[in-house]
Every structure is written in structure tokens, then in C-alpha cells.
Chain A
């Protein structure tokens, strides 16, 4: 099963287009407040991760996700 770093790498790749000029993507990047993802874009991000890793991500984990780190942590938890 993928680990934290594999999830992190993939998340960074998907998020690249969202990193506006002057913003450096890192684990502490906030998906909504910093990168400006709308709720629809968050769901697209989730779908892309689901397809890539052939996993389903329950909506229930979303309230606990603010940063890239939070997301990678939750995904690692789901995959174990």
C-alpha cells in the first residue's frame, strides 16, 4: 500500500497548476485559504487521487483536512 510520501508526491503533482506565482507548494500549504481551491476543485483533487491509487476516499475525512500534510496523513491512514 502507498505510504505518506507516495501520497504526498502525487498530491504535489496534482496541485502544481494551483500554485499561483509566488506560492511554493509544501506540506503546510492550505488547500482552500492559500491555494484557493473551491469545493468543486477539492472534489476533483480527491477523484484524481482515487483514480491513481484505486481507492475510495470517504467524504467523512474532509472536515479534518486543511493542509497538504493533513490530506496525505488521512490517505495513509485509509490505506493501512
Chain B
């Protein structure tokens, strides 16, 4: 027995993939050609799995702001928000986020992971209860495990099952935090937030919604699933990330609870890490503004989502349960998924390969995410690459 024994299954899968010459995890992006095309592992590909929903990674205004921030404030903050790492721009971004979400309070974190993990681990502790959706992101599971609260799962997107759990808690519901996501990252399905909010109103507890994949995507102003469902007043905490629609890295939490101002000094993932770099904050501030000024990006994103979803569905692939900018094709056999991921790469479409336990079921996924920056022609090339999977591999010609 050694410390390394438990990693043997990972070692074996990695060796198997290496033998096949396929490296889906940690594929190297060697050169960017645009926000939607790059050279990855030697292949010129359309980026079809990058969560760059609004396509702002190469926006000239975002880049100019980031450059200016580097020149004026340096490359890093070299310290925690609680020590030397709070710059005027961090505070401005917090104010802008609060104004955008129409909330009184806001905290900026260094990553989305730190935001969800930090809120989950801090809001509910020993003696409290967390009731979370079974398909919650790893950052949520990691957080609630750290916090020491009693953790209860409810069936994915099943408000009736949530209701049962809250009913069983009796008076303990007063010390309960309910955690759900706006759009789930693997299948792109939306939470039934109107039903969830109704259950919360009936039984009580606090509600936290992770809008990581729904910011900029849902709602009249792009504020996410809570806005789209018309239940923002029922949501106590909204957390999210800057690494998707806002095309940078970082996280946030907004709330009307005044306690958030004090709670942040108890959140270890806020205190014990360096704050986001000035360039990150600068580009995020611009992206947040552009997201509001350019609602056409959201319209374009959904047009692309429908185009890809419909195209893959017509080909007969087992696509996600509902249309969304995250479109996952379910593949029963793991080896088939690996082989198809590799073939897609060779045919010029770079998607995400997701295998259990990262996928929500025992199936594997070829997960696509579309961007507002994709052209119709690029979406059609992605569909064509999938269509070619249904022909014998010998006929495979890279689509360039």
C-alpha cells in the first residue's frame, strides 16, 4: 500500500489514452486565430467547448482596458483582499456588480470556484443544513463538505423532491441553505427556479443560486435564470464567475443581506488567496458594461444555440434535454466517446470530453458550448464534423 495506490485508476486511463495517442484532458491550445478558432494539439479547430458565451475574449475594449491596468497597476496584486490586495478597481467592480444585479452588497473573489466553494462552506456550518441539487458543480460539493453542515441532496431539478426534504426538516428549515444552479454546466438544462422559489416561500430557508453558466444568457437584462423566472426577490445569494460570459477569471456573490459585508471576512477562499489581478478586473468591468450595452450578443448566442442543437438533433444524436448554449451529446460507451472526441478534433471541432464521474450519469458526454462570436458557417462546420462521425472512419477528411 502506498499513498499513490488510490490514483491507479487515473494512471491506467491516462496510459490507455497515451497508447491510443489521444490526450483529451489538457489538450494544448498553441495559437489563437480568433475568439472562436485556434490551433489545438496541432489541429486548426473551431473552439466549440470554451464557455466563451458572449465571445468577448478578444474584444478590443476589454483588451485595451487590461493593457492599461497592467501598465498603471502592475501584473498582480500580490496580496489578499483583506491585506494589501484591495485596489480601487476591485471596489468599483463590486459596486458595478451590485448595481447590475440591483442588490445592496457584492463581493469579488479570485475565481468562480472560490466564490461558490467559499459561500457554500461559510454560510452553513455545524448544526445547519444544506439542501442541494444532486447535479451541483464540484465547487459546491467541495464547499459544503468543508463547512461541516448536514448536507442533503434532492433529485436534480425536482422541486417536488426538494419540498419533501424541506418538509422533513421541520423547524430546522430556519437554519437551512438551499443551493441550485441557474443552468447546469454539463447538460445545459435550466433549474425550475419558479417552482423552487415557491417551495422556498412555503417552507423557508435561504436560497443561493449559482448563475455561472446563465449570466449574460438568460433574463431580460442577462442577469440569469432568477431574472428569467421572475424570482430574483426570492434568491438570497447569487454567485457566479467572470470566466464565462465575462471572458476573464474571477467570481462574485451579490445579495441584499447586509451580513454579506461581514461574512466575507469569514470566507477562507476570500481571505487566504491573492485578489484578482488588475488586468482581470479591468477587462471584467468593461465586459460587464458591454454585456449590458450589447443585448444583441445574447440574441446571437441563442441563435447559434438553436442552430447547433437543431442540427445535432436532426442527425439523431442524443442531445441535452433542452436548448441552451451548452449542448451535450450523450454517448453510452466511454471508448466511443473518446474515439469520437478525437475524430472531431481531427475534423476541426474542439469540444469537451466528459466521462464519469464528471458527467451526471454513467454515460460519457461530448459537450459543446456555443458563442455569440461563432458564425453560421462555423456552427455548420461543427454539425458537419458530427455528421461525419456517422460515416466510417476511413472516409475521414479533416474539415479545414
**Residue A33 CB within 8 A of the other chain:** no
* Cα distance A58–B127 in the bound complex, in angstroms: 12
- Count of B residues near A, CB < 8 Å? 15
Q: Are B134 and A43 in contact (CB under 8 A)?
A: yes
> From A59, which residue of chain B is reached at the shortest CB distance?
B151
> Contact string, A32-70, partner B, CB cutoff 8 A, digits 1/0?
000000111001000100000011111110000000000
Residues A54 and B152 in contact in the complex (CB < 8 Å), given A38-B362, A40-B361, A40-B362: no
Partner of B152, one of A39, A40, A58: A58
User: Shortest CB–CB separation between residue A41 and chain B, in angstroms?
Assistant: 9
Q: Are A43 and B153 in contact (CB under 8 A)?
A: yes
A43 neighbours in B (Cβ, 8 Å): 134, 153
User: Shortest CB–CB separation between residue A17 and chain B, in angstroms?
Assistant: 15
Residues A56 and B165 in contact in the complex (CB < 8 Å), given A39-B357, A40-B356, A40-B362: yes
B357 neighbours in A (Cβ, 8 Å): 39-40
Q: Are A59 and B153 in contact (CB under 8 A)?
A: yes
- Count of A residues near B, CB < 8 Å? 12
B356 neighbours in A (Cβ, 8 Å): 38, 40
**Residue B168 CB within 8 A of the other chain:** yes
A39 neighbours in B (Cβ, 8 Å): 357
* Cα distance A40–B362 in the bound complex, in angstroms: 7
**Residue B142 CB within 8 A of the other chain:** no
Interface residues of B in 158-205 (CB under 8 A from A): 164-165, 168-169
**Residue B155 CB within 8 A of the other chain:** yes
* Cα distance A55–B165 in the bound complex, in angstroms: 8
Partner of A56, one of B145, B152, B362: B152
A54 neighbours in B (Cβ, 8 Å): 164, 168
* Cα distance A57–B168 in the bound complex, in angstroms: 11
**Residue B150 CB within 8 A of the other chain:** yes
B134 neighbours in A (Cβ, 8 Å): 43
A56-B168, A59-B145 given; 9 more Cβ-contact pairs under 8 Å: A40-B356, A40-B357, A40-B362, A43-B134, A43-B153, A56-B165, A56-B169, A57-B152, A60-B151
The 10 A-B residue pairs with the shortest CB-CB distance in the complex, in nearest-first order:
A59-B151, A58-B150, A56-B152, A56-B168, A56-B165, A58-B152, A58-B151, A40-B362, A60-B151, A39-B357
